[in-house]
């Protein structure tokens, strides 16, 4: 199989490329390296990498024409980047996805689009199901632009299925973590781990009572491949996440313990980090009933196992 992975030099994309190469597929990567890094894929000598953007429609067209399937992961990621660059966030996510959809449809290439648990917005459900209503914050709160852009990606993808019967499936990811993820744009686990290994205070945003379910990238990647290969799942949306929830405060304490760090915890108001009026989801946990029934997905890696792997990976990269 020949596969195009947009955003293939990013954290999740590079692991997906690795899995595809390992099983003998021919892989093409499109990435502008704005948040990805070529070092994430340079060990995969058999791939074809194009350094460009999904906004470049002729390039997207040329690549889609050469492959059998498309995995669309390219997007603006990270709360810090979303807040600092709202225009590029919205344009990259919506126009980039529109371009990929148009070209995939032109050549009838099956397509998987990765979305985000952010589309659930300010909902307060104990578990979020794929068909739940969504609650969005004010349009004047920049941070909700990302959630809205990913929701529009989903609307557009489903429109291509309904109107043109183009085979597209959507995976909503819940806090995927693992080696190669950077804390540069606000991702909490690599940021906490780096601070702990340096014996610096772990900066918890808000009071730390917000809960998250972290999912290991090695559990997510096989599911992405399965979802795309199951043609009978086209035109549908699936949560991919973990059942193990933890508060951010407890996460910080767990990382301090597992790194044997002398770090303390420092609580920073959201406004100080992201500006006035920032809002966060207090609770974010997926209902996995649908994806389990469809492909038997069940997260296998515990949070402690994830943390130990990430700690070891970051420790090896730190100087000294």
Which residues 6+ apart lie within 8 Å of 87 measured at CB? none
Tokens of 14: 């590079």
Q: How many CB atoms lie within 10 A of CB 85?
A: 16
Tokens of 238: 């699936």
C-beta of residue 121 within 8 angstroms of C-beta of residue 177: no
Tokens of 58: 């002729």
Give catalytic residue positions: 146
Q: Per-residue DSSP letters for the chain?
A: -EEEEETTTSHHHHHHHHHHHHTT-EEEEEE--SS--GGGTTT-TT-EEEE--TT-HHHHHHHHHH-SEEEE------HHHHHH-HHHHHHHHHHHHHHHHHHHHHTT--EEEEEEGGGGBT---SSB-TT---B---TT-TTHHHHHHHHHHHHHHHHHHHHH---EEEEEE--EE-TT--STTS-HHHHHHHHHHTTPPEEEETTS--EEE-EEHHHHHHHHHHHHH-GGGTT-EEEE--S-EEEHHHHHHHHHHHTT----EEEE-HHHHH-TT----SEE-B--HHHHHHH-------HHHHHHHHHHHHHHHS--
Which residues 6+ apart lie within 8 Å of 320 measured at CB? none
């Amino acid at each position: 199989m020949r596969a195009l992975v947009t955003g293939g030099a990013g954290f999740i994309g590079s692991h997906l490329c690795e899995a595809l190469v390992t099983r003998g597929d021919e892989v093409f990567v499109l990435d502008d390296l704005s948040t990805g890094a070529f070092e994430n894929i340079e060990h995969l000598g058999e791939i074809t990498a194009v350094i460009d953007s999904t906004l470049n429609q002729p390039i997207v067209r040329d690549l889609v024409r050469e492959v059998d399937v498309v995995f669309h992961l390219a997007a603006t990621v990270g709360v810090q980047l979303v807040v600092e660059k709202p225009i590029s966030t919205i344009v990259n996510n919506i126009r980039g996805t529109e371009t990929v959809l148009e070209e995939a449809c032109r050549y009838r290439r099956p397509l998987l689009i990765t979305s985000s648990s952010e589309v659930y917005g300010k909902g307060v459900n104990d578990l979020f199901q794929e068909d739940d209503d969504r609650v969005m914050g004010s349009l004047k709160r920049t941070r909700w632009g990302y959630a809205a852009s990913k929701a529009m990606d989903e609307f557009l993808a489903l429109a291509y299925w309904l109107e043109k019967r183009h085979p597209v499936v959507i995976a909503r990811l819940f806090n995927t973590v693992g080696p190669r993820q950077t804390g540069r744009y606000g991702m909490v686990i690599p940021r906490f781990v780096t601070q702990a290994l340096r014996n610096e205070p772990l900066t918890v945003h808000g009071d730390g009572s917000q809960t998250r379910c972290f999912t290991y990238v090695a559990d997510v990647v096989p599911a992405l491949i399965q979802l795309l290969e199951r043609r009978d799942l086209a035109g549908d949306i699936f949560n991919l996440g973990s059942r193990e929830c933890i508060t951010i405060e407890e996460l910080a304490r767990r990382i301090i313990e597992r790194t044997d760090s002398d770090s303390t915890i420092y609580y920073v108001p959201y406004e100080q980090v992201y500006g006035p009026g920032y809002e966060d989801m207090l609770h974010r946990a997926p209902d996995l009933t649908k994806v389990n029934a469809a492909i038997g997905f069940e997260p296998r890696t515990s949070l402690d196992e994830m943390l130990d792997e990430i700690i070891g990976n970051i420790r090896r990269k730190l100087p000294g």
